[in-house]
Structure 1
Amino acid sequence: MPGAGDVPLPPGGVHKLLNNNVVVSIDADGRERVLMGRGIGFQLKHDGRIDLAKVEKTFVLDQATDTAHARKLLTDAPYTLVQAVLHAVDEAERELGRDLGRRFPLAVIDHVHYVVERLDQGIRIPGTSMPELRILHPDESRVAEHMAASIAASLGRELPPEEGVFLTMHLLNATRDEPNGTAALLFRRVQHVVRTVETGLGTTLDTDSADYARFILHVRFLLQRLVDRTMLASGDSSFFEFAKQRYPRSFGIAEAVKAYVLAATSSTLTDEEVLYLIVHVERIATSMGRGDAGGDPSAPVL
């Protein structure tokens, strides 16, 4: 999101007034540039000229769908909210050391505007803490929490604590060099595996434990290996057979995960992948006193 000094603005270009704070200028290539700044549209309304010194932000809209959406969004959203989001986006880009693209600020403005409108109507959008996000995407989660705090401070109001989760997902869409929605799909699958383990153990996992963090990372890389077709494999089945007999409950849970993976991805986990699932599940179960090793944390797990 470059400032006015970073983008050459065509003198005497065609200007379209959206409101007193947002103006659209057509550059020499026929592209629409959205110019934002407090009061920049006021003078345009009177004498048809823009005071470039008042332009705080400008960005290019390349597609007709973006143009229509941006116009409506930037017309409807209070400028104080737009400023709050743009400031938070600037901070996020500095923290991450990268440009988040032209769609990201609009997506966040749209989201925050929706949330604030609902809060003003007394409606709370259901959310969840999603602790897996902090483990799988620590940088994006940290930056998203900072963004939520910055926006709330700029607006002088409290936002729901789960805003960090929603902003993390927006950041993932902006920062991942993969098809849109891939990160969200992978995350949902990790969540499903966690719920399968919790159902098998009959308890909620301790999301702050080291065993949980190791398990989440293992599942994430397991699912990535499925995509890359690089599943673990071994010609020696002795460890797998030992684990299968020694830890029947953890084996049953691992088999339930295997069944889910097959249904979701049409890929069958190898015995080696199932073996490592057994190991992680048994570690978690043992630390919670629910393992096949009798609840003794000192009992060996493979």
Structure 2
Amino acid sequence: MKIKKIFNNNVILLSDEMDHEMIVMGKGIGFNKHNSEEVDFSKVDKKFVIDKGQTNKLTELIEHINIEYLELTKDMIEYAENKLAVSFNQNIYLTLTDHISFAITRYQEGIDIRNPLLWEIQKFHKEEYHVALEALKIVEERLQIALPTEEAASIALHFVNAQQSGSDMKQTIEVTKIVNDLINIVKYHYGIKLDENSINYSRFMTHLRYFAYRILSKEGIPDENDSLFEQIKNRYPKAYSCAQKMVTYLEKNDRITPTDEELVYLIIHIHRVTNRSTNRS
């Protein structure tokens, strides 16, 4: 691949004869280089091969921000992937770089924007939130800019979103709200405080997240065993009653009605998480 554009000594845009593009980073990779020259891949530390149509957006973004923000974001993402033991969708390099740039601009202009989902993110995406707090330290160490602690919630959402194939930030925010509302239905229905440190709570949260994604994607689990639903419904009547309240909530908010097969899993999880919490109480 040959150099198409040099952003600075460490970041360049490459293209091949088929016009496939790639942004690469490496110390001194663009030093004393010119367009159309071959690149020395031994100097490449990071390649950015993102979704088709997104390369132009990333290129445009790089042209209008401090290039150090891209290098900073790269380190934040690699740190998060290591801590969370995941591989993010490459589009996070575009979305998070844009966010960090805007957050720094707001900070410098004294504009404070509150995140309305701060509490939910802290509660339902604990691991991503704690990693995001550490990511803020990278910003402070590199730029001597102490972004508000609340900014970690927004960064955490980028980490969550980048783990969901094909989803977008709007959907991630919707999922977080749905999960929070469903959890509150369980709490008020049973009149208890759930044991958030239990394995059942962790399993319940995981189930609710994927349940919410399926609801938003209109991809419910198909009905396969009506007799099992009737059996679970009769065995756990209180959990079934709670699940029906969830169905009512979803229908009022223009979501699809979960299938009986979906409700089987939901009822079982509700019973497990509330049974342990009730016994502890």
User: Which of 106, 109, 132 does residue 118 from structure 1 map onto?
Assistant: 106
Out of 124-133 and 88-97, give the one that drifted further: 88-97
Deviation string, structure 1 residues 68-117 (Cα, Å, up to 9, x no partner): 31122112222332222112223334445554343222221111111111
Partner of 1:34: 23
Q: Secondary structure at the match of 1:171?
A: helix
- In structure 2, relative to structure 1, the CA distance for the partners of 1:228 and 1:118 (3 Å cut) is same
- In structure 2, relative to structure 1, the CA distance for the partners of 1:98 and 1:221 (3 Å cut) is closer
| Pairs within 5 Å for 1:240-279 | 240=236, 243=238, 251=241, 254-263=243-252, 264-267=255-258, 273-274=266-267, 277=270
- Do structure 1's residue 174 and structure 2's residue 131 form an aligned pair? no
User: Which of 164, 170, 174 does residue 152 from structure 2 map onto?
Assistant: 164
Assess if the C-alpha contact under 8 Å between 2:129 and 2:156 holds in 1. Answer: yes
- In structure 2, relative to structure 1, the CA distance for the partners of 1:102 and 1:268 (3 Å cut) is closer
TM-score normalised by structure 2 residue count: 0.68
| Pairs within 5 Å for 1:1-302 | 10=1, 13=2, 15-18=4-7, 22-36=11-25, 43-44=32-33, 52=40, 57-60=46-49, 63=52, 65-96=53-84, 99-127=87-115, 128-129=118-119, 130=121, 131-134=123-126, 138=127, 140-141=128-129, 143-177=131-165, 179-180=167-168, 184-197=173-186, 208=196, 210=198, 213=202, 216-217=205-206, 219-220=208-209, 227-229=220-222, 233-235=229-231, 238-240=234-236, 243=238, 251=241, 254-263=243-252, 264-267=255-258, 273-274=266-267, 277=270, 280=273, 297=281
Q: Secondary structure at the match of 1:102?
A: coil
Number of positions where the alignment pairs a residue of Structure 1 with one of Structure 2: 263
Q: Secondary structure at the match of 2:14?
A: strand
Q: Distance in 1 between matches of 2:149 and 2:129?
A: 13
Deviation string, structure 1 residues 24-67 (Cα, Å, up to 9, x no partner): 3333432233244577667347x99798587654434663x323
% of aligned pairs identical? Answer: 21
Q: In structure 1, list runs of 5 or more residues that go unmatched.
A: 1-9, 245-249, 288-296, 298-302
Q: In structure 2, list runs of 5 or more residues that go unmatched.
A: none
Please report the RMSD computed on the Cα atoms of aligned residues, expressed in angstroms.
Answer: 4.3
Assess if the C-alpha contact under 8 Å between 1:21 and 1:40 holds in 2. Answer: yes
Between 1 and 2, higher relative CO (CA 8 Å, sep ≥ 6) is seen in 2
